[in-house]
Amino acid sequence: MADLKTPYDVIIVGAGVAGCSLAHALASTPRREPLRIALLERSLEEPDRIVGELLQPGGVMALQQLGLEETLEEIDSIPVHGYCVTRKENIVHIPYPAGHKGRSFHHGKFIMNLRNAAKKAKGVDVIEATVNDLIESESSQQIIGVAATKKNAKDSENISLYAHLVIIADGCFSNFRTKVMGPRVCTPVTKSYFVGVILDDATLPYQYHGTVCLTESAGPVLLYQIGSHDTRMLVDVKAPVPSDLKGHILKKIVPQLPSVLHTSVTDAVQGGNFRKMPNSFLPSVMQGGNEFGTKEGVFLVGDAWNMRHPLTGGGMTVAFNDIVILRDMLARVQDFSHWDEVREGLRRWHWDRKPLASTVNILSFALYDLFGADDDNLEVLRTGCFKYFELGGECINGPVSLLAATIQSPATLFYHFFAVAFYSIWVMFTHARLVERGPGLKPQLITPSFTDYPFLLIKAILVIWTAVVVFLPLLWTEIRWWSPNDKNARTTILFRYGMPVAALATVAFGAFKLTF
């Protein structure tokens, strides 16, 4: 590296949520020598996307720690005081505890504020250019810069920039994930799609609350206000996406929404201005080169590295929290050309971010599996989950604090998830349920009797097994440190040791809970 011209200390690719906040954070950290940072973005125009529109209270707190809370102002943002979950006309209110508050907004307006904050930070050059490639040192194979095409008024110009550290923050469709990860690369798995439309002047069941509508035989629907007159609706659809989206939403979804939403949703859907985004799962992999097998001189942040289901609106919260920890970690490295120090910092960062990131990641998919249930046992869990919330008190405060990212604890998540599982079984044995009585006859509410118990006992075992199969693999993706593509290691350890231990632990936990 010594013989190379190094005009920048850090190059950041992508001026989105993670890139802008990282540039600002690095520039604001006191150092012996101020850093020179290049922040490259392919288009500096206001983005128009259906992502990143609700920031959880934990994300607002991280933004404050980064000194960026001003970016939530002057964009017609809306306060968020919690959630409500609906099943047709049944509504359960789930406020954030202790007066915590999130914010929702038009994504593009928020990004423009973040970009302005990055532009104003000392030592940051924001350059409108598309990065085409990473430049590798021929002798060390370390990444030493980027090749990009600069967007000029008349023409486009190819440029090469060099730095000790290249940080990739190019989002969910990252072009550089494979190159950085090398043999450790893991590909995002698309779980479903969110189809988005904007409703005009809609009335939500609870004002200033995110709304999650559960539907039967279709995915959940998410609604939140993003401006004085605009409400975002995201409809979860599984692949293959129906060719007649309008018909799908009008016939299958609208009748299952609370009636207060019918008119505004129908009007917006008739307008048919749909946008679609994949909902992807991408577990994080240890970075830093050497024994981790990833490239040196470069690493990934944000969605390029780690993704979870957007149902719980946790992506930006994870990104900002990651940047807070990364900022403190990089502040201890005086010279970014000392890769051994950076590698050690990345290793610490990987684990230090886990309490929040793992909680948000696991929660998003665990809830998605329950709320998007298309299986009988998951349906039992979904009913149990709704009734668990109806119990109120800690059965609401605990889960919503995890969702809000004000509690960072996979153990608390484990507790509530399996409390829901055992409560679902209790509900199955004790609560009346609608039973079909044959063609032409109305379904009837029937409470299970002793003769149903043997069947219900078998079902209870299947329900617990389903809960274990949903939760444990998610937990596993968070605590393992090798590549998830390393199938042999994963399968052996997961099934030979992990599952039986987990099943035993779960049964012991359930017995404890039922006894006390």
Ligand X SMILES: Cc1cc2nc3c(=O)[nH]c(=O)nc-3n(C[C@H](O)[C@H](O)[C@H](O)COP(=O)(O)OP(=O)(O)OC[C@H]3O[C@@H](n4cnc5c(N)ncnc54)[C@H](O)[C@@H]3O)c2cc1C
Instruction: Note the residues at the interface with ligand X (CB under 6 A).
Output: 13-19, 40-43, 50-55, 130-131, 169-171, 175, 194, 277, 279, 302-304, 310, 313-317, 319
* Cβ closest to ligand X, residue 194 vs residue 386: 194
Taking the complex as a whole, the smallest distance from the CB of residue 13 to ligand X amounts, in Å, to 5
Least spacing, CB of residue 175 vs ligand X, in Å:
5
Report, in Å, the least distance between residue 126 CB and ligand X: 11
Distances from the Cα of 79 to the Cα of 43, 94, 210, 451, angstroms: 29, 15, 10, 51
Least distance CB 140 / ligand X (angstroms): 24
Of 13 and 68, the one with the shorter C-beta distance to ligand X is 13
Residue with tokens 């199955």: 428
Q: Where are the beta strands (DSSP E) in 244-357?
A: 275-281, 298-300
Give CA 374 to chain center in angstroms.
22
Indicate the residue among 150 and 513 with the shorter CB distance to ligand X.
150
Q: Which parts of 354-467 are beta strand (E)?
A: 433-435, 444-446
Cα–Cα distance, 499 to 511 (Å, whole number): 18
Q: Smallest gap, in angstroms, from Cβ of residue 20 to ligand X?
A: 8
Nearer to ligand X, 177 or 490 (CB): 177
Q: Which is nearer to ligand X, 102 or 384 (CB)?
A: 102
For ligand X, the closer of residues 78 and 395 by Cβ is: 78
Q: Radius of gyration (Cα) for the chain, nearest Å?
A: 24
Q: Which is nearer to ligand X, 195 or 378 (CB)?
A: 195
What does the alpha-carbon distance between residue 344 and residue 45 come to, in Å, rounded to a whole number? 37
Rounded least distance, CB 40 to ligand X, Å: 5
| Full DSSP string of 457-492 | HHHHHHHHHHHHHHHHHHHHHHH--S-TT-HHHHHI
DSSP 8-state secondary structure symbol assigned to residue 249: I
Return the closest-CA partner of residue 284 out of 422, 380, 385, 188: 188
Which residue, 313 or 410, is less far from ligand X as judged by CB? 313
CA distance 374 to 237: 12
Please give the helix or strand (H or E) that residue 395 lies within, else none: helix 394-404
> Phi, psi at residue 191, to the nearest 5°?
-85, -35
Cα angle for residues 322, 185, 115 (degrees, 5° grid) = 35
HSE at residue 458, side-chain half, CA atoms within 13 A, is: 4
What is the H or E stretch that residue 135 is in?
Answer: strand 124-136
Nearest residue to the partner ligand X, using Cβ: 16
Q: Give the span between the Cα atoms of 61 and 321, in whole angstroms.
A: 9
**Cβ distance to ligand X smaller for residue 283 or 315:** 315
Q: How far apart are CA 429 and CA 434, in angstroms?
A: 13
SS3 of 447, please? coil
Q: How far is the CB of 277 from ligand X (least distance, A)?
A: 4
Q: To the nearest whole angstrom, how small is the minimum distance from the Cβ of residue 144 to ligand X?
A: 17
Q: Closest distance between ligand X and the C-beta of residue 296, in Å? A: 21
Of 178 and 447, which has the nearer Cβ to ligand X?
178
| CB 15 to ligand X: min, Å | 5
